[in-house]
A and B are shown apart, each in its own frame.
Chain A
Amino acid sequence: QKEVEQNSGPLSVPEGAIASLNCTYSDRVSQSFFWYRQYSGKSPELIMSIYSNGDKEDGRFTAQLNKASQYVSLLIRDSQPSDSATYLCAGMDSSYKLIFGSGTRLLVRP
C-alpha cells in the first residue's frame, strides 16, 4: 500500500456543485494531514490542515479526518471554475516528514 493514496482523476463537477476529494493513508502516516492546491505550472498552496478526528471548516472548504478508517477528505462547496487544479493530500509521518499523494485533478465545468 502506498503511504498516501489518491485517485488521479480527473474529477469533473459542474459549477456550483460540491466537489469531494478523497485520500487514504497507511499506518506510517498518522500525525497530521494537509491539503494543498496546485495550479498547472505553479507551486503547491496550503488550503487546509487537520490534526484530529472530525470536520474542520474554512470558508467553502471542509476537511474531514477519520483515523479509524485512515481516510481524509476535502469538500469544496459551491465549486467554481477557478477551483480547477490538482489537489495534493499530505500526511506527516513519525519523523515529521510530509508524505504526499500523487494528487487528484479537479475540473469544474462552467
Chain B
Amino acid sequence: DTAVSQTPKYLVTQMGNDKSIKCEQNLGHDTMYWYKQDSKKFLKIMFSYNNKELIINETVPNRFSPKSPDKAHLNLHINSLELGDSAVYFCASSHLAGRSYNEQFFGPGTRLTVL
C-alpha cells in the first residue's frame, strides 16, 4: 500500500526519558513534515524537510530534534520528555515544497503520553 506510516502508534513513557518516533513514506514525495495535535485538537506544524534539508523549523523546544536520513524517512527524537509533550504527533508528506498547491498527506499518528 502506498502511504505514510509511523511507528510506534502509541508511546507511554516517564518524564525525563528520551524517545523517538519514526516516519516513512512510499508516495515518492520530496517533502516531509512533523505536526503536533494537542488535547484541544489544534494541529500545528513543527518541522519540515525537503530532500533531507530542514526548511521549516517552528518555535519548538530544542529537546525536539528531527532527522531525515533520506527523502522517504523523517524521524523525531525527543529528549527529556515533559508532561506537556503529551499529544498526538503526525507525520505528513507532499510534493512541491514551496508551491501554493502542495497537498499534504498524513500518517496515522503517534499518541505520546508522558507520565
Contact = CB atoms under 8 A, between A and B. Distances in A.
**Interface of A: prevailing SS:** strand
Interface of A: 31-32, 34, 36, 38, 42-46, 49, 51, 86, 88, 92, 95-98, 100, 102-103
Interface residues of B, number: 22
Interface string B42-64: 11110010000000100000000
B29 to A, nearest CB: 13
B101 A86 contact: no
Given A31-B100, A95-B56, A97-B56, A43 B90 contact: yes
Nearest to A45: B106
A86 B100 contact: no
A103 B41 contact: yes
Given A44-B90, A102-B40, A49 B101 contact: yes
